Amino acid sequence: MGELYPADRLPSAREAVRLAGVDALLVTPGADLRYLTGYNAHATERLTCLVLPADGDPLLVVPMLERPLVEASPAGSLDLGVAGWPETDDPYAVVAAHLRAALGRSPERVALGNRMWAEQALRLRDALSGSELALAGSVLRGLRMVKSAAEVEALRRAGQAIDRVHTRMADWLRVGRTEREIGSDIAAAILEEGHVSADFTIVGSGPNGASPHHELSDRVVQAGDVVVVDIGGTTAEGYCSDNTRTYVCGGPPPAEVADYYAVLHQAQLAGTAAVRPGVTPHEVDAAARDVIAAGGYGEFFIHRTGHGIGLEGHEEPYIVAGNSEPLQAGMAFSIEPGIYLPGRHGARLEDIVVCTPDGVDLLNAVDRGLVVLPG
């Protein structure tokens, strides 16, 4: 996985630390740590923390018993010091001591990982008494938002894997089965088709399809139901998939559904066609939203048009009204307009796309039509 987790990320992050005007970056287990080092650490009560000072050597502070895991990961081949702390030591003191030694003084301003647990953030605050604390997201966002060619290919492989799950939907989505039963089968297939985790399985049948983040329920699928299936997972490479298709189970779709799905399809095409460098997420959102509004369903499109994706299922950039930061080649995100009629049914159509130097690259290829499945 050397191409996915290259050695130059730590120097690039150190330069970002300097440009942000902070003395150090402190990152605990999660996507930021994996991005910077390739180490997919498990978050526990024992502190694991990457210490990246603006000047001086980086250090990965880990529980002694987990040091072999670090050495076996891509982090083991980096020019990165590893400090394994015994059970009776204070790892927060180790972090503070390394920072003071690297900087030659106490740090004035330190950026903490956005997803750091509160108990760890508060203990680091105490260990670094007098230091101003900031968020690391603003330091790392520019690096993580623009994907390398290797990252794009990892996302493409994840997208192909989730596409294969959708092509098998007729195996599970049938009249008389519950959403929960269907979701369980889908989750197993996500693993079978190349993911190491099934991160979410939304099966919104009938009126449940009008709730974008519907949880699996014991509702039984009825003949003629419209069913929104939004699924995704994480591959062994660490990159995520996310794809939504809308199905009709056991009969032709009601005329109303066919009409508004045609509007939805055109909206997704318009949003996708708007993607190119220099265009803002606000403009991409508007391209999709304006089609739905013109079709008379504007009030029923109740969420943003998309979200970034990479080592996390949701990350920057967010394709939403008001986001005026221009797109750059290498940014990866979803285009997923939806129409939701409360108490009746709904539909969503989602693909992952990548902004390229001259336009857009679609990472999903499964049928974008309203799919009618036998009962």
Domain boundaries along the sequence of the chain: 9-144, 149-373
How do beta strands 371-373 and 243-249 pair?
parallel
* Residue 214 reports pLDDT greater than 60: yes
Is the separation of the CB atoms in 274 and 284 below 8 Å?
yes
Q: Hunting for tokens 């009601």 — which residue is that?
A: 254
Q: What is the mean pLDDT of residues 333-348?
A: 97
pTM: 0.96
Scanning the structure block, which residue is given the tokens 């009008």? 210
From the candidate CATH numbers 1.10.260.40, 3.40.50.300, 3.90.230.10, 3.90.1170.40, the one assigned to the domain spanning 149-373: 3.90.230.10
pLDDT of residue 314: 98
**351-362 pLDDT, tens digit each:** 999 999 999 999
Q: What is the pLDDT of residue 254?
A: 84
Give the pLDDT confidence score for residue 234 in this predicted structure. Answer: 98
Q: Residue 284's CB: how many other CB atoms inside 10 A?
A: 29
Q: Enumerate the H helices of the chain as residue ranges.
A: 9-20, 31-37, 67-72, 91-103, 118-127, 137-145, 149-167, 179-192, 255-273, 281-294
| Domain range 9-144, its CATH number among 3.90.1150.10, 3.40.50.300, 3.40.350.10, 1.20.120.420 | 3.40.350.10
Is pLDDT of 253 > 90? no
